[in-house]
């Protein structure tokens, strides 16, 4: 699997950009981070960061986890592209 989030240096064109980059340590290293920030709710970005961090910290992937891998992890691993992710998340609402 190819990892979509290799370290990439860029400036974030947002107010408090540095603070946000620290907040989303993993996501902010992704090449399409700006697209995510421009097109997604901040709460959803928080959720993605948590899901990806949990995935990266897993000692072993269980069969139960593999049955319902979060879309954010699929995107992180390059299984779906950013355009598809944004289309899928367009009408997503956090409760």
pLDDT at 90: 80
Query: Rounded to a whole number, what is the distance in angstroms from the first to the last CA of the chain?
Result: 32
Q: Is residue 5 part of a domain?
A: no
User: Residue 10 pLDDT more than 60?
Assistant: no
pLDDT at 93: 59
16: left (phi over 0), alpha (psi -120 to 50) or beta: left
Q: Is residue 12 part of a domain?
A: no
Share of the chain above pLDDT 70, in %: 73
Burial class (CB in 10 A: 0-12, 13-18, 19+), 72: buried
Q: Is residue 40 part of a domain?
A: yes
Structurally, the chain folds into a number of domains equal to 1
User: Residue 22 pLDDT more than 60?
Assistant: no
- Encoded tokens for 8: 């990439």
Residue ranges making up the domain that contains 75: 17-89
CA distance 11 to 8: 10
> Rounded to 5 degrees, what angle do the CA atoms 49, 73, 60 make?
100
pLDDT at 4: 56
User: Residue 12 pLDDT more than 60?
Assistant: no
Provide the CA 65 distance to its chain's centre, in angstroms: 18
User: Residue 32 pLDDT more than 60?
Assistant: yes
Mean pLDDT of the 67-91 span: 92
């Amino acid at each position: 699997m190819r990892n979509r989030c290799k370290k990439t240096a860029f400036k974030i064109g947002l107010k408090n950009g540095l603070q946000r980059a620290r907040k989303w340590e993993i996501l902010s290293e992704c090449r399409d981070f700006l697209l995510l920030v421009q097109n997604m709710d901040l709460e959803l970005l928080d959720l993605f960061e948590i899901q990806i961090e949990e995935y990266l910290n897993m000692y072993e992937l269980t069969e139960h986890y593999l049955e319902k891998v979060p879309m954010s992890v699929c995107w992180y691993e390059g299984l779906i592209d950013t355009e598809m992710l944004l289309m899928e998340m367009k009408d997503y609402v956090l409760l």
